[in-house]
Amino acid sequence: MTADPSVPTAGDPPEEGVSLHLLGGFRLLREAVPVVVPRGLQRVIALIGLRPGATRSQLAGLLWPDASEERALSSLRTALWRLRQDPCCPMTIASDTVRLGPAVRLDVDDLVGTAARVRDGDDPRIAAGALAAGRHDLLPGWYDDWVLLDRERLRQLRLHMLEQVAGQHLTAGRHGEALEAALEAMAAEPLRETPHRLVVRIHLAEGNAFEAVHAFYVYRDLLRRELRLEPSPAMSALLDDTLAPIRQATRGAVTDRPSPAGRRT
> Which residues of the chain form beta strands (DSSP E)?
18-21, 27-30, 33-34, 91-94, 97-100, 105-106
State how beta strands 27-30 and 33-34 pair: antiparallel
Q: Which of 71, 105, 139 is the last residue of a domain?
A: 105
Name the DSSP letter for residue 265. -
Our count of domains for the chain comes to 2
Establish if 261 belongs to a structural domain. Answer: no
Q: What's the confidence (pLDDT) of residue 15?
A: 46
Q: What's the confidence (pLDDT) of residue 8?
A: 33
Establish if 34 belongs to a structural domain. Answer: yes
3-class state of residue 21 by DSSP: strand
Q: What's the confidence (pLDDT) of residue 265?
A: 45
Q: Which of 70, 89, 105 is the last residue of a domain?
A: 105
Fill in the amino acid letter for 56.
Answer: R
Fill in the amino acid letter for 61.
Answer: G
Half-sphere exposure of 187 (CA within 13 A, CB side): 12
Question: Is the pLDDT score of 129 beyond 70?
Answer: yes
Cα separations in angstroms, 199 against 121, 134, 239, 244: 21, 21, 12, 20
Distance separating alpha carbons of residues 137 and 141, to the nearest angstrom: 10
Q: What is the domain extent for residue 34?
A: 18-105
Establish if 181 belongs to a structural domain. Answer: yes
- Regarding whether 180 and 97 lie in a shared domain, the answer is no
- Regarding whether 188 and 157 lie in a shared domain, the answer is yes
Average pLDDT of every residue of the chain:
86
Distance separating alpha carbons of residues 129 and 12, to the nearest angstrom: 31
Establish if 75 belongs to a structural domain. Answer: yes
Interval 97-125: pLDDT, tens:
899 988 899 999 999 999 998 998 876 66
Confidence at 132, pLDDT banded by 50, 70, 90: confident
Q: Find, among 63, 87, 65, the residue nearest to 76 by Cα.
A: 63
